[in-house]
Chains A and B, each alone.
Chain A
Amino acid sequence: MIRIHLASVFVTDQLRARDFYTSVLGFELRQDVDMGDGSRWLTVGNPGDEPFELLLEPAGHPVVGPYQAGLVADGIPATSFAVDDCQAEYERLVGLGVEFTQPPTAMGPVTTAVLDDTCGNLIQIAQMNAPV
């Protein structure tokens, strides 16, 4: 059986991303290896021992800039994270100085908000609403 163990987002600054994804968003640092070429093999995961990791990949390739710029201009998130309470997370993150392009909004089965990860991406946080 094939399973997803790694997904990635491109980040414009890996050290800033390491700080943002752990200290601000609350993920756990999993791997941080200096590759010797100015880049790192940098992953974070959900707190606990879940094997899934998110790779914070250096945005060095020339197509990444236009890709990120196009998505951000239209407000499209690079990926989405689950939260239990979207409004509470929104307030916590705003308190930490995080900027949002969309405040918590009910969208059908989910309540979502979209934030700027300061590393070139918009990130959606999504709360599954109880079925009516």
Chain B
Amino acid sequence: MYEALAAPTRRAILDALAASSTEQTLFELLNRLRYDHQVTLTRQAISQHLQVLEEAGLVHRRRSGRTVLHHYDPTPLVQIARRWPVSQEES
């Protein structure tokens, strides 16, 4: 998971996914990255980044009909907060 978060591009992908409450197609995600995060990626590049994020449990994908949808899952980040708790005063 730490490696997945280490790359700025993958953090931008998480930003783009987290920006919407609905699941996103690859097409929508690429456009959001381009216009909202100034990150232009090829289809191959984003697929590789998404795979790393999926393996870390930060992104899930599912098939809806004939279309693949992606969403962000913050669950793995909860483990970080458990390990190094942040008190209310500090946060």
Contact = CB atoms under 8 A, between A and B. Distances in A.
Interface of A: 69, 72-77, 99, 101-103, 105-108, 112, 114, 116, 122
A47 to B, nearest CB: 28
A87 to B, nearest CB: 15
A114 B28 contact: yes
Contacts, number: 51
A28 B22 CA distance: 33
A75 B32 contact: no
A102 B28 contact: yes
B67 A73 contact: yes
Given A69-B66, A105-B20, A75 B35 contact: no
Interface string B14-44: 0000001010111110011011000000010
Interface string B63-87: 0111111000000000000000000
Contacts of B28: 75, 101-102, 105, 114
Interface of B: 20, 22, 24-28, 31-32, 34-35, 43, 64-69
B68 to A, nearest CB: 5
Mostly, the B contact residues are mixed
Given A103-B22, A108-B35, A114 B27 contact: yes
A62 B47 CA distance: 27
Of listed A99, A101, A106, A112, residue having the most chain B CB within 10 A: A101
A116 B25 CA distance: 13
Nearest to B31: A107
Contacts of A106: 35
B20 A74 contact: no
Contacts of A107: 31-32, 34-35
Contacts of B32: 105, 107
B31 A74 contact: no
